[in-house]
Amino acid sequence: MKLDLSKEFDVNKAKVYFNKLLSNNKKIELKEIQLNRTVTQNAYLHVCIALFAIEFGYTIDEAKTLLKRECNFMFYEKNNVLFLKLTRNMLTGELTKFIEWIRNYSSNEGCYIPTADEYKDNRFEIDKHINSNKQFI
């Protein structure tokens, strides 16, 4: 059952249901629903990757893989094998951390990636730059 506890109706529904489970000594799982990345955040991530790719001569896929490999928190281990995390499964906070890492890493490599606000302010020019290099990335 998914409920929005900022709404009084859902709060009351949650209390009634919880009390019912409590009185019947049920086993339950209670967890917070965390927000997945936003469409805007996803678009900005791809702008960052595209600018990096253009600067260093990679395709989008190559740049994304390279950036993940260089980032120490983009790995997970399963059966003693290391894998790269999928950005599509990342929550908003995790993706923000990765985007900031990309910007810092790029800067250290001599490539400035604009902030999200700078991208909003200069979106036309930045998108034009990316589109004019599409054949290379």
pLDDT tens digits for range 50-92: 999 999 999 999 999 999 999 999 999 999 999 999 998 899 9
pTM above the 0.85 mark?
no
Same domain? For 10 and 71 the reply is: no
Domain region containing 13? 1-33
Task: Give CA–CA dist 86/97, Å, rounded.
Answer: 14
Task: Identify whether residues 116 and 55 lie together within a single domain.
Answer: yes
pLDDT of residue 29: 87
Instruction: Note whether 59 and 15 are same-domain residues.
Output: no
Same domain, 46 and 7: no
Distance of alpha carbon 78 from its chain centroid, rounded? Answer: 21
What is the predicted pLDDT for the residue at 34? 67
Q: Are 60 and 116 within one domain? A: yes
Q: Do 10 and 45 belong to one domain?
A: no
Closest among 89, 90, 96 to 115, alpha carbons compared: 96
Number of domains present in the structure of the chain: 2
